[in-house]
Structures are given as C-alpha cells and as structure tokens.
Structure 1
C-alpha cells in the first residue's frame, strides 16, 4: 500500500450532496446551447413586470380573499400588508441575486450556486409546489367567475358537478381543465407571444379592479369593519400565511432570466415594479371589499368580488364587467405560473436533476414544448380534482421556504464571493435578509398542521427521487475542473 491515502474527492460523502455550481458556469450556460437548445431573449422591463403582476394579481384578490377574510375578519387588510412586507424584504434579496446570477431557475439556481446541490433540489421541489399547485389553485376558481359571467349574460351556467372539484360540491372541474389546455397551447407557441397576451390580460384586470374599488367605496360602511380583528393576532397571522401565495409574482420574474434583454438591469427593476403594483392593488381592493359588506358574508361566497358588485348594483353591468375581468385575469395568472414552472424544470433538466425531456427546446419555436405539455397535464389534473383551500396552503408553504432560501443565499454569497459584480445590492445588509428569513419562518409557523404533513410527504418523495436519480445523473457527478470548484460558488 502507498504511504498516504488519497484525500476524498468532491463526490465522496456529504461533499457530494453539497457540491455547488460555479456562477461562471451558470452564466455561460445561459447564453449557450448545452444540449437542449437556447431560449430567445425577447422580453423587456415592461413585459417582464407584467409577467410578475399577471402571476400575482388575481390569486389573492379574485379568489383567496374569500378564504382569508373568515380567518382574520376585517383585519385581513393587515394580513395583506404583513404578507407584503415579507414579500418586499424578500424582493430586495431576489433583486440582488437576480442581478448577480441572471439565468433561468430562480430560487433553485440561486441555491445551487450558494448552498449546494441537495438544498437546490429540495428548493426545486418547493418551486414545483409553488408554481404547479398555484396554477391549479387559481384554475379551480376560474369556473366560479365563468359561471358568474355566463349566468349574468346568458342565464345559464356549467352544472355544479362539472364546475367544481370534489370536496367543493362537484365531481370534476371541467372549466379548470379547459383553461389549463388553452394556456398550454399559448405557451407552446412562444414566450414573447405569451408575454404579450399576458400584458393585455393584466391591463384588463387592473381596470376592472379599479372599477370594483370605485363602485364598492360608494357603499363603504365603517360598521362592516367592526369588530376589526375578531380572531386577534392569531387570525391575522393565519390569514397572512394563506394569502402569501399571492405574492409569487416576483419569483416568476426571476424564472425568465434567460429570456430578458439586459437581465442585470431588467430583473431588479421588474421585481420592484411588480411588488409595488401588487401591494397597492391588494390593499385597495381589500379595503373596498371589507367596507362594502359584512365580513361574515365572505365565507363560502363564490366569485366573491363579482357577487359583491352584483349585490350593490343589482347584477348590472359593473358585476358583469368584473366577472369578465375575473375570467380574463385568472387566465393570465394560470398562464404565467405554468410558464414559471416550465422554466424551473428547464434549468433542472439542464443540470441533469430531472430527465432531459424537460430541457429539450423545439428547434423552431424555441420553447420547451414537451416540458410544457407534461406540466400542463399535471396542473390540469390537480385543478380538476383537488379543493382550492388545500392547494392555497400548500402553495404558501412552498413559496415561503423558497423565499427563505433566497434570503439565506444573499448572506452566503456576500461572505463567499464578495468580489462578484452585483447590479443591485440589498440595502441595510445584513438586517434586511435576516428580517426576510424571520418573516418567512413566522408565516410558515402560522400554516395548519395538515399542510406540514403534506409538505413532509412531498419533501420525502423529493429526497427519494434525488438519491435514486438526481445525485447520479447530475452534470456535476463527473465534474471537470472547468465545471466544478467546491471551494467557491
């Protein structure tokens, strides 16, 4: 035997699961064909902001308000503000990482560069919950607004058995499946076309929400806001955790890192505009809605905002306009959240963490067609058969975990790579990232135990897949010096 044993390589033991992907490699891959094809850079600040707003405005207001108000009462306005503060703190962290690592993959990619492969894989699993389940959640509510519109205009509605999932009075949510199919076909056509359609839907939804605010405020009654917090601080926290999935838009912005022009500048600007627009709209609509009817009336109310306007105007044109706006809005939300999930899987496929089919790009459309088809099938099935309340809490859990990891990544990268060029730097460092982590942990604590159980099952499945597939197929499993340096992220 030789005198001294060789030092363990980077793929031995714990170092194997904690291997990190160099940022130089990530950036180089984002501009080169790595086997599956290259995405087209065609999106600017305006369209990217609209992607973020489109994936956000609609979920918390058109649908989840009816889930959150019974938990917090009129104090749901505070819940939205609390969720917004958490999102804003995390948005600053996203902006720094997005300007430093301007590639597709969002939280997954950032974790791979800063915290290691197994953490990145689990974050990827969280993002699948965040996007796939969020898309399903908002698709579930589409049938409610479609029926409200059909009832007001034609006096006919899709039968309850075919417009709601099991557990919510139905057998199969057919409208949700139809919605997901339409979004799938548009995404297959191209990212630029999808972004344009999304920008149009965002403009429509903002107009109808402003209409709601204008009409509802004319009937504002301060008595509806008393008692303001019937369930105390606990109720406010629980509602904040429920509505937090409404703030996934900034994460969706960062998933487009390889399809935007001048990403180091475009990504931070779009993230800031997204969070500012979303927070303003949410608070305005929540205040107007609470003032227009007693908070007890929100529970079990379908197509809530359209119903409120219908009650105020006698089902006149404002209610019809809002129902139509809900139909258009939820289409836009579903479109952008499915888009976000396909881009996460695109990055994971490039890294070998999921099958290569998710990284394959159509040679002429320059979109991940098969990836989009698989994701849409998964989202469509969930939307057709799973109740909304279950989906909303699962999405919040996945989102909050991913956000906490991003904030942690900022701290790690500042310490390990202070030399990196950063197009934006978090102000008040390290206080802001630490506050972001603390806020995320608080909202996670407020989620119901059933959500913890389902999340634990999901994470267990993710670990099984990682140790049986991802760890072996990872492109870093047989690294070259140019691809792997475990001493620097």
Structure 2
C-alpha cells in the first residue's frame, strides 16, 4: 500500500522510470462508496508522468483524424446509406452530425476534467464507480481489438484493385504487424506519419468532390429525396423510418473524435486543449464526409445506377473519371485504412498500458504491461501484446464473428459516456473541467434517448450483437468483484491526472 502511494497512486507493478519527478506523499485513498460505487482518490495523489508530453494540439488532431479516417467512411460506410435511402443520405448525415455535436460535448467536458490515457473507462470509473469503469475498460479493449481486425482485413479489398495478388486475409494480418512496429515509435513520429497518410486520403476525397461538382446532373431536391431500388430494378420511395435507421449508421461513420483523450497524457496543456481537439476533430470529419457525399449525389449520371451498384463510389469514379483515377483513389483508400490501423493501434496500446498502471492485473502480467520504454517513452510491451493478439484474432476468427463482437459496442460505449457526463454534472465531479458543455445536462439526456432507440432497433433486427456486447460488459463486473474489489485499497485507486509538463 505504501509503495503504491509513493509512486503517485499507481500499483507497484508499474514503477515510474527515472525521467519522472517523484510524486508527493499522500494519505490512503478512500474505499468504494460515495456516491455508491464511485471512488474518492486521496487528496494530492497523481499519476507519474511516464509518457512523453510532447504533442501539440495540432498533432493530437492529426492522430485523432487518422483514427476517424473520413476517407474510409466515405468509401465503406456512406455507400451502404446511399443504397438504402438514396439522396436522403444527406439528411441522415446531417442529423447524425447534430447528435455527434452533443456527444462531442460530453467527451470534451469529461476529457478536460480527466485527461487520462485510459479514455472512456477513466471517465466511467470516476463518475459512475469503479465496477462500471472496469466493465467499460473490458468492452473498449475487446471492441477496439475487434474493430482493428475488421478494419485491417478490409485493406486487401482496395489493394487488390491495384495488385490483384494482394487481396486476402494475409494482407490484413501483415498490415496489423506493420502497424504494431510503427506504433512503437515516439508519439511525435507517429503524429507525422499518420499526418502524411491523412493528406493522401484527404486528396482522394478532394478528387471525389471535384468530379461531382464539375459534373452536376441531378437536381438539388435529390439531397432530400428518400429512394431505394425496388425488386424490379426501378427506383421507389423509401420511408422516413429508413432514414432514421440510416442516421445511426451515419453516426458510426463520424465516430473516433473521442480518441483525442487517449493521447492527452502526451499532449501539452491537455486539460485546456483536449476539449477543443475533440470538437475540431468532429467538425473536420463532418465537412470531409458531407462534401464528397453531396458531390457524388449531385454529380452521378444516374441515381438508379448509383443506388444499385455493388460499389457506388467505384461506379461513380469510373463514370465520371476513368480506370486510372479509380485505381489511384483505391490505393489512397488502402493507405487510409492502414493509417487508421496505426492510429487505433496507438490508442489500444495506451488503453492496455493504462489498465496495467491502475493495477488491473496480477503482477506477473501487469508489471511488464505497465512498462514505458525509457527512450521512446511509449508503452512498448502493451502495444506489442495488442498487435500480436489482434493479428491472431484476425487469423483465427471468422470475419462474420468479428462483426458480431463489435456490432453493438459503440452503442453501449456512447451510452456510458453520456451517463458519465450526466453523473459528473449532477454530482459536481466535473465542475472543475476547463471545458463545460453547453446546455448543461440536455446533451447527455438527448444522447441516452437516441442510444436507447438505436439499441432497441438493433436488438429487434438481430439480438446477437447486443447480447454479446452486454455479456462482455457483464464479464467486466464479474472480474472487478472477483479480483479488484477485495484489493480496492491497493488497486484501482484512480488518482488525479499527472502534472502537465510541456516537454
């Protein structure tokens, strides 16, 4: 117990390197229970600064946008919405943008109060209680690793357009292993690597937008006309219920702006800037996804052909450009996917590191996972474990099963973040946040209503993804009460964020 407190509230399995300043002596942390289940860290207890606090605000945004990967959303998620509701896809994405703003408000307030690399679980543990925090961690880890595998396995679909022999599962596994190696580098190096890749994918979106706006063939009313392809191959009206359902898909296309908090312990003046990083990331994402969408809808030669195409964006590129443009843009999308894998690998490595630092695991496991490389200042062991585990998962688990594992993950994650923001406001725990979300508790309540509706629709269509997600969440509670709760005075003491150094 005393050893933990001397290292800034961390478990002794994760000693701070010599580069970290000594943490002040503190009194023992309070046990669970005020409010029920919520921890009360000892006054003055702080994490030691192990990671390199060297990122600027702009560099954080670069990595965050790479995790969102707008180009991948435009080419992979947007087409499914167009196929379902035609031109009304713009309505769905506009509504999703409004919902995204309220979600970003929740993330921004929580992140500015708790700029901790653990991300969502750090919020939940401090506002909803330690058990919910660990359940959120397990869901974020399992879901994140599953999404990593799904995204990486999609690389071959686009590289195969350029080189046919590169289509297959082996390409995805190779991408995961390469991304793992890149993620071991210093965080600023990764910021610039992902930044360069991001420029390439943004160029692909510019090509799409230009081709659309210089060949406008469809009336503006197309942008609010809900259509789908009937059984006879003729366009017919789509219900506004389908538009509402498509809005949930559009929300997923914007997801990833909250990733900024995972790099908060490596960002200068994070408490003051992390909220802005989240809001800027969402704003840029909305613009870079909406503009190409509108361009394609207005510039397509035929709405029937666009909606009926197996790959609407490739149809559009071939119709308004040529095979060379389609090949070059496909290569750009493949690079965008690789970029997203690198950014998500950085995120998941830090998530696992943070859990080990909080004493989540027995010492034999937790001690190496909480180690930070003394020169690179990155969590090398945790990142390697995530990379290898994801590659094995992609190799052994069928793609359809991976989709089931990740299908409802985001719904529960958003709901827990909204509940955390609501609880933080009602209990005053986030009163000291440098960013305060507008309209008070309106945003979290709105998000909870939307997530409740989406969860109901998801479970009605297919109960399996929601059941699997809730089972993972419940497993987190079981582990907490079986292992962490009996050791709550030594593990998961949840201190305050580290002092914000500038270098």
* TM norm. shorter chain > 0.5: yes
Cα distance in 2 for residues equivalent to 1:477 and 1:331: 36
Cα distance in 2 for residues equivalent to 1:378 and 1:298: 38
Q: Is 1:58 matched up with 2:66?
A: no
Give the TM-score normalised by structure 1: 0.82
SS in 1 for 2:341: helix
Give the TM-score normalised by structure 2: 0.80
RMSD: 3.1
- Name the structure 1 match of 2:246: 239
Q: Is 1:363 matched up with 2:374?
A: yes
- C-alpha contact (below 8 Å) 1:63/1:138 kept by paired residues: no
Could you tell which deviates more after superposition, 178-187 or 453-462?
A: 453-462
- C-alpha contact (below 8 Å) 2:194/2:339 kept by paired residues: yes
- Name the structure 1 match of 2:6: none
Query: Aligned-pair distance for 1:276?
Result: 0.5
- C-alpha contact (below 8 Å) 2:406/2:469 kept by paired residues: no
- Name the structure 1 match of 2:419: 408
- Name the structure 2 match of 1:211: 207
- C-alpha contact (below 8 Å) 2:148/2:344 kept by paired residues: yes
Q: Is 1:469 matched up with 2:483?
A: yes
- C-alpha contact (below 8 Å) 2:152/2:172 kept by paired residues: yes
Structure-2 change in CA distance of 1:419 and 1:276 (3 Å): closer
Count, aligned residues:
447
Query: Aligned-pair distance for 1:296?
Result: 6.5
Query: Aligned-pair distance for 1:136?
Result: 2.1
Structure-2 change in CA distance of 1:141 and 1:474 (3 Å): farther
Cα distance in 2 for residues equivalent to 1:23 and 1:214: 57
- C-alpha contact (below 8 Å) 1:68/1:76 kept by paired residues: yes
Q: Of the candidates 251, 254, 257, which is equivalent to residue 261 of structure 2?
A: 254
Superposed CA offset, 1:47-83 (max 9, x none): 1111221111234223222333334333232222232
User: Structure 1: 5+ residue runs without aligned partners?
Assistant: 1-8, 151-155, 164-172, 485-489
- Name the structure 2 match of 1:455: 469
- C-alpha contact (below 8 Å) 1:70/1:296 kept by paired residues: no
Could you tell which deviates more after superposition, 357-366 or 237-246?
A: 237-246
SS in 2 for 1:58: helix
- C-alpha contact (below 8 Å) 1:43/1:261 kept by paired residues: yes
Cα distance in 1 for residues equivalent to 2:404 and 2:94: 18
User: Structure 2: 5+ residue runs without aligned partners?
Assistant: 1-28, 229-236, 497-503
Superposed CA offset, 1:373-399 (max 9, x none): 111123224444666676567546322
- C-alpha contact (below 8 Å) 2:226/2:238 kept by paired residues: no
Could you tell which deviates more after superposition, 419-428 or 42-51?
A: 419-428
- Name the structure 1 match of 2:26: none
Structure-2 change in CA distance of 1:402 and 1:10 (3 Å): same
Cα distance in 1 for residues equivalent to 2:185 and 2:416: 33
- Name the structure 2 match of 1:273: 280
- C-alpha contact (below 8 Å) 1:74/1:228 kept by paired residues: yes
- Name the structure 2 match of 1:191: 187
Cα distance in 1 for residues equivalent to 2:93 and 2:251: 8
Q: Is 1:149 matched up with 2:154?
A: no
Q: Is 1:287 matched up with 2:286?
A: no
Structure-2 change in CA distance of 1:445 and 1:18 (3 Å): same
Query: Aligned-pair distance for 1:309?
Result: 0.8
Cα distance in 2 for residues equivalent to 1:94 and 1:140: 29
Superposed CA offset, 1:400-449 (max 9, x none): 32222222222322332368432111111122222222223233333242
**Aligned counterparts, 1:363-382, within 5 A:** 363-382=374-393
Superposed CA offset, 1:89-110 (max 9, x none): 0111111111112221121101
